[in-house]
Amino acid sequence: MGVISEPEVGYFEISEEDKFIVIASDGVWEFLSNKVVVNIVVPYYLKNDPVGACEQLVLESTAAWKKKEYSVDDITAIVIFLNKNSSRFEI
- Look up the domain containing 47 and give its range: 30-81
Asked whether residue 69 is assigned to any structural domain, the reply reads: yes
Number of compact structural domains in the chain? 1
Question: How many Cα neighbours within 13 Å face the side chain of 31?
Answer: 18
- Tens-digit pLDDT profile for residues 24-47: 998 999 999 999 999 999 999 999
Cα(33)–Cα(29) distance, rounded to whole angstroms? 6
Q: Across-strand partners of 32?
A: none
- Tens-digit pLDDT profile for residues 71-85: 888 899 999 999 766
Asked whether residue 62 is assigned to any structural domain, the reply reads: yes
Cα(48)–Cα(13) distance, rounded to whole angstroms? 23
Asked whether residue 3 is assigned to any structural domain, the reply reads: no
pLDDT at residue 19 tops 70: yes
| Contact status, residue 77 vs residue 54, Cβ threshold 8 Å | yes
pLDDT at residue 90 tops 60: no
pTM of the model: 0.80
Asked whether residue 23 is assigned to any structural domain, the reply reads: no
